[in-house]
Amino acid sequence: MPDRMRFETAAIHAGQDPDPTTGAAIVPIYQTSTYVQDSVAKHKGFEYSRTDNPTRHALETCLASLEGARHAVAFGSGMAAITTLALTLASGDRVIIPDDGYGGTYRLFSKVTPPLGINFEAVNMADPDALGKALAGGAALVLAETPTNPWLKILDIEALAAASHAAGALLAVDNTFASPFLQRPLELGADVVVYSATKYLGGHSDLVAGSLATSDDALAERLRFLQNAAGAIPGPFDSWLLLRGLKTLALRMRAHCSGAAEVAHWLTGRADVRSVHYPGLEHFPGHRVAAKQMAAGGAPLYGGMVALELGSRTEALALCNNTKLFWLGESLGGVESLIEHPAEMTHASVAGSEVEVPDTLVRLSVGIEHPADLIADLERALG
């Protein structure tokens, strides 16, 4: 097998040699908790499935390869991955998170970790002065997200890495919205990449999983220890489903990106849509940085998420309630299109806080259906 496979090839082959015992072309679902040993403490590399499992092992090898990382560690959800990353911190450490990040991340750092002595600050990371001020207060970890959720703001990962490292902090990037096909934060200076694999990596809305990837050997060893010690692992079946999803990630991402671009451009022509947020639009504030750091095969690609603001809460709710192809639901990144109202759905847990989302905002996860059908659905629902 070649040393350095291209993305599309690694998705099919990394960690996925034919099964050594049977020749099975697809990595089997090793649905077992334990492994029979040859003699005391003499085993074939697996002892207990919380510690390691062959299906999960194949998944982790593939995830690391797609990221260009030395290590990837899989978890039972994106939040399990972020919680395990938080467990690398100690009492007295401070974390800086985005002021428009994933609601569950905000909930974790505002409600779960403060009693452990881990404090946080939510800042607008697109504003270098605000970030600089927060870093000046001392930080062990900066956990960034780009594109952000739900505004799709773009952060410059290289600049964030430089600022974080100058302040002695590690930079973790939640890359869930971009996927490793469009954006590889480690190559831009980040120390850790975080995923909710539930979204684009799995891609079929049929599993919940997460992962962390890093090329820092010491950090990887700590994460691997915590994966086993805290135990927030994915099971063999979900690991297998995720491995299957990864095989088509490149194809799916291209379709998500072109569909989202068509939908976003169409929305900008509507008088009843107050604003459209999509990194591929030329007037979008983060467009130039996105064009620099989000690409596949040398060509910029801007992801499958679109946000739009309507004139009122009533109009936003009417759109969410009236689409037929865009199903009303939380989550994103599946082959089917979804629509949602962040203020009362995904971001309800941040209502009343400094990161509250306006009730005029609607978020779209553009699936891989034909874009003309998706546009017709929106046109009818807006009408």
Please give the positions annotated as active site.
Answer: 50, 102, 174, 199
Beta-strand ranges (E) seen in the chain are 71-75, 94-98, 119-123, 141-145, 170-174, 192-196, 210-214, 273-277, 295-296, 299-300, 305-310, 327-328, 338-340, 361-365
Is residue 104 part of the contact set for ligand PLP (CB under 6 A)? yes
Spatial separation of the C-alpha atoms in residues 182 and 352, rounded to whole Å? 34
Record the tokens describing residue 295, joined without a space: 């690409």
202 contacts 241 by C-beta, under 8 angstroms: yes
Supply the minimum distance, in Å, between the C-beta of residue 313 and ligand PLP.
23
Sorted by sequence, the CB contacts under 8 Å of residue 128 that are 6+ apart come out as 159, 163
Nearer to ligand PLP, 156 or 174 (CB): 174
Bridge partners, 340 (sequence order): 363
Q: Which residue is nearest to ligand PLP (CB)?
A: 78
Is residue 100 part of the contact set for ligand PLP (CB under 6 A)? no
Is residue 199 part of the contact set for ligand PLP (CB under 6 A)? yes
Is residue 150 part of the contact set for ligand PLP (CB under 6 A)? no
Sorted by sequence, the CB contacts under 8 Å of residue 42 that are 6+ apart come out as none
Is residue 208 part of the contact set for ligand PLP (CB under 6 A)? yes
Please state, in angstroms and as integers, the Cα–Cα distance from residue 121 to each residue in 95, 106, 171, following that order. Answer: 6, 10, 15
Is residue 174 part of the contact set for ligand PLP (CB under 6 A)? yes
Computed from CA positions of residues 42, 64, 91, 346, in that sequence, does the dihedral angle turn out positive or negative?
negative
Is residue 347 part of the contact set for ligand PLP (CB under 6 A)? no
Supply the minimum distance, in Å, between the C-beta of residue 155 and ligand PLP.
13
Bridge partners, 19 (sequence order): none
210 contacts 197 by C-beta, under 8 angstroms: yes
- Binding residue for ligand PLP, selected from 102, 106, 151, 181, defined by CB under 6 A: 102
Is residue 65 part of the contact set for ligand PLP (CB under 6 A)? no
Supply the minimum distance, in Å, between the C-beta of residue 35 and ligand PLP.
28
Supply the minimum distance, in Å, between the C-beta of residue 149 and ligand PLP.
5
Task: Tell me the window of 29-37, 48-56, 174-182, 277-285 that interacts with ligand PLP (CB under 6 A).
Answer: 174-182
Q: Got the DSSP string for 149-164?
A: TTT-----HHHHHHHH
Contact pattern for ligand PLP over residues 118 through 147, marking x by CB under 6 A: ---------------------------x--
- Binding residue for ligand PLP, selected from 49, 198, 205, 215, defined by CB under 6 A: 198
Residues of this chain, 17-56, that bind ligand PLP according to CB under 6 A: none
Sorted by sequence, the CB contacts under 8 Å of residue 23 that are 6+ apart come out as none
Task: Tell me the window of 31-39, 101-109, 217-225, 358-366 that interacts with ligand PLP (CB under 6 A).
Answer: 101-109
Is residue 78 part of the contact set for ligand PLP (CB under 6 A)? yes
Is residue 93 part of the contact set for ligand PLP (CB under 6 A)? no
Supply the minimum distance, in Å, between the C-beta of residue 330 and ligand PLP.
8
Sorted by sequence, the CB contacts under 8 Å of residue 159 that are 6+ apart come out as 128
Is residue 71 part of the contact set for ligand PLP (CB under 6 A)? no
286 contacts 126 by C-beta, under 8 angstroms: yes
User: For binding to ligand PLP (CB under 6 A), which residues are involved?
Assistant: 77-79, 102, 104-105, 145, 149, 174, 176-177, 196, 198-199, 208, 210
